[in-house]
Amino acid sequence: SPHPHKTMTATTTATHQRHEDGEGSVQVHQDNKLNIEEGALVIAVYGKGGIGKSTTSSNLSAAFSHLGKRVLQIGCDPKHDSTFTLTKRMVPTVIDTLEEVDFHSEELEASDFVYTGYNGVMCVESGGPPAGTGCGGYVTGQTVKLLKEHHLLEDTDVVIFDVLGDVVCGGFAAPLQHAHYCLIVTANDFDSIFAMNRIVQAIKAKAKNYRVRLGGVVANRSQDTDQIDRFNARAGLRTLAHFKAVDAIRRSRLKKCTIFEMESSPDVLQVQQEYLNLARCLLESVQPLEAKPLKDREIFDLLGYD
């Protein structure tokens, strides 16, 4: 099928009878009425904190838009910096906007929390509760609920969740309850790959009860990929895109723009093409992976040099 995500069926949501997603855990489960429409390809981007998830998400959103797709990017981090290269500013968050109307969502217009960015990409920052006071899963649920109430998901082709770094709570995994595919952003080093393995564990748990599957790995800020390749071969993963430590990518963040707005050069054109290739792959040919996470000691013994 040219759109494999459209053939994937959503599984049932939480009931008292169903098995929990993780051993000994308390999970945040979505309301069954909050499923995102089947027509949209929904991607969740995960990875170690600071690995470049927002850069990857924003440039991937831009690439989808260049392919003629209607794109919505949802930043799921309290620091709400996922979309600033698309919008050229730090936009107000959903939670801050809801607080202003005492959480009476019916008083809001779509323009109060959705901002149009580069090439028509719709941008939303969910925000989050103050540190130590709440759950990111609740915030994700409120954001999706608000988007559905305003019918903003009905005419969207691609939805990208850009998720905060490597934490372990159930709320961290809440976007996986909506996604078709998870992309894991990693560098060619032990810490990034260790975090990737934890994310594989989370996806394996969520896949028991939700449609989400592993799409693949994005190698970022890495000249070589030997350690990533070694882990992928053992765990059953694949690399879908490779972005080296190109200075134009770093400078694009400082200029508050996407790589597609940078002055043309061989490096910039190569990165642009890699993002376009990744977007096409996700639309047309990506296949779900059944990866097997490694034990911590296995990763320690696997990676490194002889």
| pLDDT recorded at residue 36 | 55
| pLDDT recorded at residue 105 | 81
244 counts as catalytic = no
Shortest CA distance to 70 belongs to which of 23, 31, 117?
Answer: 117
79 counts as catalytic = yes
Q: Which helix (H) or strand (E) holds 292?
A: none
Which of 79, 96, 208, 292 is an active site residue?
79
59/179 Cα distance (integer angstroms): 19
Q: To which residue do tokens 């995994």 refer?
A: 173
Which of 21, 53, 69, 162 is an active site residue?
53
Which of 21, 77, 162, 166 is an active site residue?
166
Alpha helices in 185-265 (DSSP H): 190-206, 226-235, 247-254
∠ CA(48), CA(50), CA(55), 5° rounding? Answer: 105
239/186 Cα distance (integer angstroms): 10
| pLDDT recorded at residue 12 | 34
Residues belonging to the chain: 306
| pLDDT recorded at residue 11 | 37
151/164 Cα distance (integer angstroms): 26
Which of 48, 69, 204, 206 is an active site residue?
48
53 counts as catalytic = yes
Positions of the chain with pLDDT under 50:
1-2, 7-18, 23-28
294/146 Cα distance (integer angstroms): 38
- The reported pTM is 0.85
CB-CB neighbours of 39 under 10 Å: 13
Residue ranges and CATH numbers for the domains of the chain are 41-302 (3.40.50.300)
